[in-house]
Structure 1
């Protein structure tokens, strides 16, 4: 069976991250990699359905393939949100069952749903019925006192029975009591072996792994071990050149390494259009601070953008001036 374009793209994806993976970030990331699957920040179903916040669905056509991540726990509300996402043209609709926060206005959502696999299955089925776009799930290996080696396979079997064929597993538990969302990203131990076992136990499911992965070499190792995809979060955001600029040749076997300097120049028309619509430079440039991470001139690049992008009238000239601060020996190596 031929793989779909989005399924191929999920060989490497950038994790949905609140306050980070907005549409400006995704446009920038797409210039670095033509192949990776990009995800929105989590958008709650109540915000779309009850709040009418359809601006949360805005994106640039150049971002494809791009997935919409939804949060919620009401099947009918999630179904309507999925319908709106499909109408907006997203390539995938993903249900968040991993965020370590247990309440929004609509009630339980995120990782707490690991405790209610029947409800998750009902949500998945309703979302699929409402949309022609594939519905996927992002989850944890378990929460609180659950025994992941028992509850995770039962959870996967339940959502597979509801028609879910693709899942991304964050290889940590979420502790809903006692740890903050930030602490839940680092403190619970990683259990990569369990995720690998799930791929062996559910060979018909497309399983991606997430959590603590920082390099393409790690990603390749997981793919070579039999997993279908790898999701990288903070490393892709803070050091995008090392992860995304190299991704197409290293992970997908296509194209060449992206030139970070060229990407800066290609961001200029996008920034000009954003400013013409009343936007501010820092709304875009904040996502670009790590572009030259670890390279000569990176500190000056970050400083100029951090200090200047908020100032009235800041525009592409500041971006190009900051680029001039990047050391010449780095410029000669770019490409």
Structure 2
């Protein structure tokens, strides 16, 4: 198989078909909240960020403004939807455009029982015509790029031909960007957590998709942890998407702009990144958000650093207390020494 030519470094987080997807952080339930995304944006201006999955039912029948609330500082930002009804998906795609998102993505990868029962997530890989109908309706409803995140298969439909049929039907419906988790989802017998680890990664399947469909944008996802791995994947695909590693070790994002986009990093130290967060944290406190809802996303910022454990412990022991405010973060920050020479220390 012939290797694909990697994308050239871009000086903008946007491209002809919407935001650049060269480097993305995956949508993760309870993790990629607006508070995590604000932190991520202090570290990288070019990484494409995704919301947690929001179901069409929640948007249509729930508190729409609360679910779609975000800060303009988070751009470029994509909204991930969970659903299968074409009319509901079209309605929510229009909402995504109305609320200023840069992309709307359909979840066809989540393996949990709860979403399966509502015809959401990975189970939809068994219904390519239904997914294609939803994608077509979304494309007709919005000018935003409509993308799909899916697995390489599900139990019972895990062959190469099944995967190609799925991609081709969605491409015929107008989808041009596929974010592919390089594992199958086993819907019977494995928990969502087990589905993130037990089915083996098959990166070659994703590479083969790009080779067979060079006109489509193929982003690879699943188990990626290092920049060396990212560069190897970029030899075969158009972009990489990191999940758990980008959450547990957010400082990784601080090198993304220089490594993949040829741009200077927005901050030089973890201390600078956290201080840049303080006005945002205070504004959230002022509107009644509890500190612990924000501080839990900061715990990995000093991962592996001297004093990092004390930083985490102090926040964990104090952020949940009644009336906890910025002083908790500031005191925790004092437990990690700021490097005298940031250029050398952080490198």
TM-score class, shorter? over 0.9
Question: CA–CA distance in 2 between the matches of 1:50 and 1:105?
Answer: 20
TM-score of the pair, normalised by structure 1: 0.95
Q: Does the alignment pair 1:264 with 2:274?
A: yes
Q: Which residue of 1 aligns with 2:3?
A: none
Identify the residue that residue 262 of structure 2 maps to in structure 1.
Answer: 253
Between the aligned partners of 2:72 and 2:155, the Cα distance in structure 1 is: 40
Q: Is the 8 A contact 1:295 1:330 kept in 2?
A: no
TM-score, length-scaled by structure 2: 0.91
Q: 1:204 aligns with which of 203, 211, 215?
A: 215
What's 2:320 paired with?
Answer: 310
After superposition, the Cα gap between the structure-2 partners of 1:287 and 1:213, relative to the gap in structure 1 and judged at 3 Å, is: same
Q: Are 2:78 and 2:104, in contact at CA under 8 Å, matched by a contact in 1?
A: yes
Equivalent residues in 2 for 1:1-335, closer than 5 Å: 4=15, 7=18, 9-104=20-115, 107-223=118-234, 225-241=235-251, 243-256=252-265, 258=267, 259-327=269-337, 333-334=345-346
CA 1:263/1:8 → structure 2, altered by over 3 Å: closer, same or farther? Answer: same
CA drift of 1:103 comes to 4.2
Residues 29 and 52 in structure 2, CA contact (< 8 A), matched pair in contact too:
yes
CA change 1:81–1:115 in 2 (3 A) is same
Asked if the contact 1:6/1:92 (under 8 Å) is kept, the reply is no
Number of aligned positions between the proteins: 332
What is the CA-CA distance between 1:238 and the residue it aligns to? 0.2
Structure number with greater CO (CA < 8 Å, separation at least 6) is 2
Q: Is the 8 A contact 1:296 1:330 kept in 2?
A: no
After TM superposition, what 4+ stretches of structure 1 lie above 6 angstroms from structure 2? none
Extract unaligned runs of 5+ from structure 1. Answer: none
Check conservation: 1:100, 1:175, Cα contact below 8 A.
Answer: yes
Pairwise CA RMSD: 1.8
For 1:331 and 1:176, locate their aligned partners in 2 and report how far apart those are by CA, in whole Å: 51
Alpha-carbon offset, residue 98 of structure 1? 0.3
